Amino acid sequence: MSSKSSDRTLVNVIGIPAWLGVIALGGIYYSLFMTVCIAIALWEFYQMAKTKDISPNPFVGILFTILIIAFYWISPPVSQNIFFGIVILGIVGLLIEELIRDLPDAMGNISYTLLGLFYIPLFLGTSIPIRQIDAEHGIYLTFALVTSVWACDSAAFFFGTKWGKKKILPRVSPKKSYVGSIAGMITSFGVMALFQSQGLLGNFFETKDIIIFSLITGVFGQIGDFVESMLKRDVGVKDSGTLLKGHGGVLDRFDSLIFAMPLAYLYLRYLGIS
């Protein structure tokens, strides 16, 4: 076994049970874990931007990450005026900070700082209220979403490697095939249906809801993977980081969930479950 394969195996053996264990604990443990992961992923995103001689503002990024996570965790009943006031003051503060930094490519620095905030903490942070909904209603939707995304990725890789010929977006991700993608979507539905059949999703969701959650994890989860591949290809890097040996960076591990979690959260709000 190669050194890289050994590293991947070690991360899987330790990381997967630890990740599932934190989901099971929920509460402050899960929220703190997600905050750390989101902060690291954002830092990796900003480091990738530096390969294009762009300097996002990490101080502003991490500060607003904490505020976004706190908002998801506490869910304060703030008025629309207060919410938009905070957003406007934040953007004004970012512009003033960039003025003081006096670095080249101010537009690029500001753009990447804001893109990182929208792309990572704002999207992935929705996993926190989803886990709170689980605790309040005695369901296991977070487990189902995460497992469905993992199963989709694994099935897409296996079937794509074995039988995938025609590629979907070779300019972005040369190895992703239609066969693998379809296999991933089918597997996602199988996982969500299994959770539902075992009564782990309560009485809230009907068959149509399971189909929609399956589309979220099986289709939009894969789109999230493609989007991160596009961003990495744009800056000329293979992995977002090296923290997870053999697996790249933290952002690489959460790319599918970055799209799946906010869409699942929006759908839960549409159903009136909050």
195-219 pLDDT tens trace: 999 999 988 899 999 999 999 999 9
Helices (H), 52-200: 58-74, 80-101, 106-117, 123-124, 127-137, 141-163, 178-197
pLDDT at 149: 94
- Degrees (nearest 5) of the Cα angle 199, 205, 209? 125
| Mean of all residue pLDDT scores within the chain | 87
Residue 90 has pLDDT above 90, yes or no: no
Better-scored residue on pLDDT, 7 or 212: 212
- Whole-number Cα distances in Å, 249 to 43, 116, 191: 10, 15, 26
Phi/psi at 111 (5° precision): -60, -45
pLDDT at 183: 95
Least reliable range by pLDDT among 35-44, 67-76, 114-123: 67-76
Residue 164 has pLDDT above 50, yes or no: yes
Better-scored residue on pLDDT, 83 or 149: 149
Average pLDDT over residues 269-274: 85
pLDDT at 6: 45
Residue 242 has pLDDT above 70, yes or no: no
Specify whether the CB–CB gap between 146 and 213 falls below 8 A: no
Specify whether the CB–CB gap between 257 and 146 falls below 8 A: yes
Q: Cα–Cα distance between 187 and 193 in angstroms, integer?
A: 10
pLDDT at 10: 43
Tokens of 164: 């995938």
Average pLDDT over residues 95-99: 90
pLDDT at 4: 47
Q: Tell me the whole-structure pTM to 2 decimals.
A: 0.89
